[in-house]
Structure 1
Amino acid sequence: MELGKMDTSRRDEPTYLAWSIFNTFCCCLPLGIAAIIYSCRVDNANSLGDAGRAQESSRIAKNLNIASLVVGMIAIIMLIVMIVIRN
């Protein structure tokens, strides 16, 4: 490798941090917090160059975000149904 040129072959895994923060505030607090923790682990593993740990943590963060979104949507639908039934 020549001096002054960086190795760009390393691929960083997505952190899903913005999605995790959104889910924490809007959908499901416990799953959102867990997703934020795994998103931070992805960021740390990416900065250390640990591709295996970054990939695993990224997958877990993504799954937690999906679960948080589904739980939040189910809760909102149940709330709307209960309001409609009550009136």
Structure 2
Amino acid sequence: MEASRVNIPSYLALSIFNMLCCCLPLGIAALVFSVQVKNATHIGDVNQASKSSRTARLLNIIGIVVGAITLIILIVIFAVVLKKK
């Protein structure tokens, strides 16, 4: 199978969103793997592109979950603090 015909998602936009809005460390790691997908696809290494794509997706999912949980915890803490005043 030719590398130019393979459509392996890089999750680049999701990685940037994750880095800016959810969880910076995991977003940066996901961004690195997203770029690796583009590079591996460009040189025709489909196996490496697939591995990097799965890793980028996993890091993005974990980053979004961690970001959401952190946001919920912060909202609860602020609600408790404001209720005491």
TM-score, normalised on structure 1?
A: 0.88
CA contact (8 A) 2:3 2:44 kept: no
Match among 76, 80, 84 for residue 85 of structure 1: 80
CA contact (8 A) 2:3 2:45 kept: no
Do structure 1's residue 65 and structure 2's residue 60 form an aligned pair? yes
Do structure 1's residue 75 and structure 2's residue 70 form an aligned pair? yes
**Matches of residues 42-57 of structure 1 in structure 2 within 5 Å?**
42-57=37-52
Deviation of 1:11 after TM superposition, in Å, equals 1.0
Q: Which protein has the larger Cα radius of gyration, Structure 1 or Structure 2?
A: 1
| Gap regions ≥5 residues in structure 2 | none
Name the CA distance, whole Å, in 2 between partners of 1:59 and 1:46: 14
Deviation of 1:9 after TM superposition, in Å, equals 7.6
Query: How many pairs does the alignment contain?
Result: 81
Name the CA distance, whole Å, in 2 between partners of 1:13 and 1:85: 46
| Gap regions ≥5 residues in structure 1 | 1-6
Give identity over the alignment, percent: 52
Q: Deviation above 4 Å: which 4+ runs of structure 1?
A: none
User: Between Structure 1 and Structure 2, which shows a larger proportion of helix residues?
Assistant: 2
TM-score, normalised on structure 2?
A: 0.90
CA contact (8 A) 1:23 1:32 kept: yes
